[in-house]
Amino acid sequence: MLRTGEQYVEGIRERRHAKIYVMGKRVTDVTTNLFLKPSVLAFKATFDAAFQEDTRDLARAFSPFINEEVNRFVHIHQGPQDLVAKVKLLRRLSHKTGTCFQRCVGWDALNTLYIVTGKMAERGDGVYRERFLKYLEHVQRRDLALAGAMTDVKGVRTLRPSEQPNPDAYVRVVEERDDGIVVSGAKANITGVAAVDEVVVLPTRAMTEQDAAYAVSFAVPLDTPGVVVVVGRQINDARRMEGGDIDGVPYMAHHEGLIIFNNVFVPWDRVFMYKDWRWTGPLVEIFASFHRQGYGGCKSGLGDVIIGATYELAKTIGVDNKPNVADKLAEMVFLNESMYSAGLAASWEGSKLLKEGGWWVNPMYANVTKHLVARFPYEISKLAHDIAGGIVGTAPSEFDLKNEEIKNLLEKYLQGVPEIPAEERLRLVRLLENVSVSVGFLIESVHGAGSPAAQKIMFNRLYDYEKAGEIAKALSRIKVTVKWPKAPEPRRPSESEKL
Binding residues (CB under 6 A) for ligand SF4: these are 90, 100-102, 104-105, 191, 294-295, 298, 444, 448
Half-sphere exposure of residue 267: CA atoms within 13 angstroms, side-chain side = 6
Q: Identify the active-site residue in 97, 224, 298, 312.
A: 298
Q: Is 448 in the site for Fe ion (CB under 5 A)?
A: yes
Minimum distance of Fe ion from residue 17's CB (angstroms): 27
DSSP string, 69-83: EEEGGGPPP-SHHHH
CA 345 – CA 341 distance, rounded (Å): 6
Residue 291 annotated among the catalytic residues of the structure: yes
Q: Are 306 and 381 in contact (CB under 8 A)?
A: yes
Residue 104 annotated among the catalytic residues of the structure: yes
Q: In Å, how far are 345, 350, 389 from 296, measured between CA atoms? A: 10, 15, 28
Residue 295 interacting partner from ligand SF4, Fe ion, none (CB closer than 5 to 8 Å by kind): ligand SF4
- The residue type at 356: E
Residue 340 annotated among the catalytic residues of the structure: no
Q: Which is nearer to Fe ion, 98 or 448 (by Cβ)?
A: 448
Minimum distance of ligand SF4 from residue 107's CB (angstroms): 8
Q: Identify the active-site residue in 31, 55, 97, 104.
A: 104
Q: Which is nearer to ligand SF4, 102 or 217 (by Cβ)?
A: 102
Residue 295 annotated among the catalytic residues of the structure: yes
Q: Which is nearer to ligand SF4, 299 or 430 (by Cβ)?
A: 299
Q: Is 296 in the site for Fe ion (CB under 5 A)?
A: no
Q: In Å, how far are 190, 310, 319, 385 from 392, measured between CA atoms? A: 29, 11, 16, 7
Q: Are 291 and 407 in contact (CB under 8 A)?
A: no
Residue 47 interacting partner from ligand SF4, Fe ion, none (CB closer than 5 to 8 Å by kind): none
Coil, helix or strand at residue 228: strand
Q: Which is nearer to Fe ion, 230 or 374 (by Cβ)?
A: 374
Residue 466 annotated among the catalytic residues of the structure: no
Contact region for Fe ion (CB under 5 A) — 53-61, 279-287, 385-393, 440-448?
440-448
DSSP H or E run through 231: strand 227-231
Residue 371 annotated among the catalytic residues of the structure: no
Q: Which is nearer to ligand SF4, 110 or 395 (by Cβ)?
A: 110
Minimum distance of Fe ion from residue 445's CB (angstroms): 9
Q: Which is nearer to Fe ion, 71 or 191 (by Cβ)?
A: 191
Q: Identify the active-site residue in 254, 291, 371, 385.
A: 291
Residue 256 annotated among the catalytic residues of the structure: yes
Minimum distance of ligand SF4 from residue 301's CB (angstroms): 8
Give the other-Cβ count within 10 Å of 286's Cβ. 28
Minimum distance of Fe ion from residue 101's CB (angstroms): 10
Q: Identify the active-site residue in 398, 433, 444, 470.
A: 444
Q: How many residues bind Fe ion (CB under 5 A)?
A: 1
CA 109 – CA 105 distance, rounded (Å): 6
Give the other-Cβ count within 10 Å of 450's Cβ. 24
Q: Are 297 and 87 in contact (CB under 8 A)?
A: yes
Residue of minimal Cβ distance to Fe ion: 448
Burial class of residue 157 (count of CB atoms within 10 Å of its CB; 0-12, 13-18, 19+): exposed
Q: Are 60 and 89 in contact (CB under 8 A)?
A: no
Q: Are 311 and 320 in contact (CB under 8 A)?
A: yes
Residue 191 annotated among the catalytic residues of the structure: yes
Question: Could you tell me how many residues make up the chain?
Answer: 499
Minimum distance of ligand SF4 from residue 353's CB (angstroms): 21
Segments in 319-421 forming alpha helices (H): 323-348, 363-388, 391-394, 398-401, 407-414
Q: Which is nearer to ligand SF4, 70 or 298 (by Cβ)?
A: 298
Residues labelled as active-site residues? 100, 104, 191, 256, 291, 295, 298, 444
Which residues sit at the interface with Fe ion, rule CB under 5 A? Answer: 448
